[in-house]
Structure 1
Amino acid sequence: MSISKSERPALILIDIQKGFDNVEYWGGQRNNFDAEKHAAELLELWRKNQLPIFHIQHNSSIPTSLLNETNEGNGFKDIVKPINGEPIIKKNVNSAFIGTDLKEQLDRENITKLVIVGLTTDHCVSTTTRMAGNFGFDTFLVSDATATFNKKGLDGQNFSAELIHETALASLNGEFATIVTTDFLKKIFR
């Protein structure tokens, strides 16, 4: 798949929220601490080129979750905070397409290509990417603008955040999305 400015791809920023700063809450280990910085670089490019941008915000239905609307952790991180006119899609499940009008907004703007960044690689990023691919969008997932946390296996084994990240990307690549880097996109969209 190819991508260019003229195709007006949408940048989808998934769940880049303050609650994810609490690494202990999510498992104790995180990979790619530069993910938000890379997402911010792409956001700046999209704004400069006046390309479509959609901010996704997870609003957990669990009252004690750091991502519940009543919790400070629900807020967007300052580095990628939406500005006036940029749509905010609020969701309470893993996919940004379920229970929202994201697909309708993309269709209304005749958007066929998506660039996805955000948190976390193996949950909301993966689920949204899979659905985007199933809906027929040409989807590009930015490997260094996503991150995740370690996970415990069924037998209690600890799987590192980097392993979880890499296997999630490998599962998506070529079937649901094309995996790219921030630098790859910066060369195209500068």
Structure 2
Amino acid sequence: MAQPALLIIDMQKGMRDCPVPRNNPQAEIRIAELLSAWRAAEAPIVHVRHISRTPGSPFWPGQPGVEFQPELAPLAHEHVVEKNVPDAFVNSGLERWLRVRGIEELVIVGVSTNNSVEGTARSAGNLGFRTHVVADACFAFEKRDFLGNLRSAEAVHAMALGNLQGEYADVLEASAALVRLRIG
């Protein structure tokens, strides 16, 4: 059985520079720990990069914000998926790449919990992958709800994880995600 793939979503410089308050300031540390463990186990890693279709966006091609954060940048042999919408499976070839390699289990980390992480995890679950979202290796930004009420980044994060838990994915902590690796 193939090792689970680590999907690192949108850990680009533009996310680090976002002025909107966020939660989970330790997320990048947890992601780096998981990335190091996956590399040591020679398990599959997929780096997902958002490429905006909106001129002037920090994620527009050629802007510094589109580049991966250096400490989380892919190595030459690691797979990179580019997307234009929150869901990393849409028009990216990600599903085929995983299926060809016999990968049936995904561990998802990154940003933002309620957007690209949630969108990707929903599709992964719907496509039949055993999907895990690492709560302490994701983060969200504060956001206004449909009624105009400002919700804290922690509340947005918690609701997104609640939307996923048990229906599309298992939500776990980084320490439990490491158990998913089969070392040796």
TM tier, smaller: over 0.9
Aligned mates of 1:131, 1:188 — CA distance in 2: 20
Q: Tell me the SS of whatever aligns to 2:167.
A: coil
Deviation at 1:22, TM superposition (A): 2.3
Decide whether the 8 Å contact of 1:63 with 1:70 is kept in 2. Answer: no
Decide whether the 8 Å contact of 1:30 with 1:161 is kept in 2. Answer: yes
Are 2:142 and 1:150 equivalent residues in the alignment? Answer: yes
Identity of aligned residues (%): 38
Size of the alignment, in residue pairs?
A: 182
Aligned mates of 2:143, 2:35 — CA distance in 1: 29
Aligned mates of 1:176, 1:11 — CA distance in 2: 17
Are 2:5 and 1:13 equivalent residues in the alignment? Answer: no
Q: 2:5 corresponds to which letter in structure 1?
A: A
Deviation at 1:155, TM superposition (A): 4.0
Map 1:1-190 onto structure 2 (within 5 A). 7-24=2-19, 28-187=20-179, 189=181
Which ranges of structure 2 fall in alignment gaps of 5 or more residues?
Answer: none
Deviation at 1:86, TM superposition (A): 0.3
Q: Tell me the SS of whatever aligns to 1:88.
A: strand
Distance change (3 Å), C-alpha of 1:139 and 1:165: same
Aligned mates of 2:94, 2:8 — CA distance in 1: 12
Q: 2:71 corresponds to which letter in structure 1?
A: I
Deviation at 1:7, TM superposition (A): 4.2
Deviation at 1:142, TM superposition (A): 0.3
Aligned mates of 1:188, 1:140 — CA distance in 2: 9
Deviation at 1:44, TM superposition (A): 0.4
Deviation at 1:79, TM superposition (A): 1.7
| Normalised TM-score (structure 1) | 0.92
Q: Tell me the SS of whatever aligns to 2:60.
A: coil
Q: Tell me the SS of whatever aligns to 1:186.
A: helix
Q: Tell me the SS of whatever aligns to 1:16.
A: coil
Q: 2:174 corresponds to which letter in structure 1?
A: T
Distance change (3 Å), C-alpha of 1:11 and 1:94: same
Superposition CA RMSD, Å: 1.3
Q: 1:32 corresponds to which letter in structure 2?
A: N
| Normalised TM-score (structure 2) | 0.95
